[in-house]
Copies of this chain bind each other. A is one copy, B any other.
Amino acid sequence: MSVDPYMRGRMNDRKSYVPPFGLGEPLEGGAIGEVVASNADGFAEGDVVLHGLGWREYAVVPAMHAQKVDADGIPESAFLGVLGMPGLTAYVGLLDIAELREGDVVFVSGAAGAVGSLVGQIARERGNYVVGSAGSQQKVDYILDELGFDAAFDYHDGSISERLRHAAPNGIDIYFDNVGGEQFEAAIGALHQHGRIALCGAISSYNNDEKAAVPLIVAIGKRLTMRGFIVRDHGDRREAFLNEVGPWVREGRVKYRETIVDGGVEAAPQAFIDLLRGANTGKMVVRF
């Protein structure tokens, strides 16, 4: 079962792109399950399926909301992460929202996370120069040594603008934003003319209403495009995504990490809190 940062937003009692969780009702989230009984054509006992009713041990899932998983040598949990919703988020955000082009320099925050690590690797596989940021030296080492980014820095380590200038001395073309806050503001300073920001997440403000300070004169002068998106709108890209990234995962060219927590639904709340604190590396998964 998957725990994801966006779930924090559903714990506020306010209008958002997904309705808040209901009081007295189970939470929900992405999960991989085994079919134990089926009345639906095309699903048989023992099939492995991806569905959206996690945070419980058994669920009645309408056939139209379940997708059979054809793992073909890939661990099933990958379909919650690198080949699941976070993976598609990276793919759509980088290619469709930020419109990656040949020669673009890409900066991604939260670069050790489930989304950020794939953003950088897709860009790298396509031949782009990639800079990542994360919250510890250990994560920075992972980004450089295992994920193969061209440069990376710890955002706690002095001025973010200076660190970014050091990592990308000639500036950047794309900022893939997973965190908001100061990194967003530093990226605006580093972006080239016609730069693009994919607004994917803002984990630094999930627990408050922090706003990013956008110098409009700079945004106009640089002809910047800032665009928010929600992966849910882009299900039509899933096939292209799996066709391009699936083989990279199978061949081991794209790396991913999972932080797997055992203990089922009882362990899930703490896993979620740890996720928001950044205690994970890569996709956070709870095993039942």
* Chain B residues with CB under 8 A of A193: 17
A177 pairs with B228, CB closer than 8 A: no
CB closest residue in chain B, given A226 = B226
Q: In the complex this chain forms, how many copies of it are found?
A: 2
Please pick, from B16, B200, B221, the residue contacting A228 in the complex, using a CB distance under 8 A. B221
A199, B220: Cβ atoms under 8 Å? yes
Interchain CB contact under 8 A, A212 and B216: yes
Q: Does A201 contact B (CB under 8 A)?
A: yes
The answer to whether residues A212 and B214 also contact, given A220-B230, A223-B230, A230-B221 and a CB cut-off of 8 A, is: yes
B216 touches A177 (CB 8 A): yes
Interface 0/1 of A174-190, CB less than 8 Å to B = 00010010001000000
Chain B residues with Cβ below 8 Å from A101 are none
Q: Is A40 an interface residue (CB 8 A)?
A: no
List residues of A (141-171) whose CB comes within 8 Å of B's CBs. none
Kindly supply a per-residue 1/0 record for chain A positions 62-99, scoring 1 wherever the CB is within 8 Å of any chain B CB and 0 otherwise. 00000000000000000000000000000000000000
Which residue in B202, B220, B222, B229 is a CB contact (below 8 Å) of A223?
A: B229
Assess the B221–A226 pair: CB atoms within 8 A: no
Q: Count residues of A near B (Cβ-Cβ below 8 Å).
A: 34
A17 to chain B: closest residue by CB:
B221
Given known A180-B216, A216-B199, contact A225–B227 (CB-CB < 8 A): yes
Residue of B nearest to A179 (CB): B216
Task: A17-B220, A205-B216, A223-B227 given; name 9 further pairs at CB < 8 Å.
Answer: A17-B222, A199-B219, A201-B220, A211-B215, A212-B213, A213-B214, A224-B228, A225-B228, A226-B226
Q: Please give me the 4 A-B residue pairs with the lowest Cβ-Cβ distance, nearest first.
A: A211-B213, A220-B228, A202-B216, A17-B221
Q: A residues engaging B (CB < 8 A)? A: 9, 16-17, 177, 180, 184, 193, 199-202, 205-206, 209, 211-217, 219-230, 233
Q: List 27 A-B contacts (CB under 8 A).
A: A9-B217, A17-B193, A17-B220, A17-B221, A184-B216, A199-B216, A199-B220, A199-B224, A200-B220, A201-B220, A202-B217, A205-B216, A206-B217, A209-B215, A211-B216, A212-B213, A213-B214, A214-B226, A220-B228, A220-B229, A220-B230, A221-B228, A222-B228, A223-B228, A223-B229, A224-B226, A225-B225
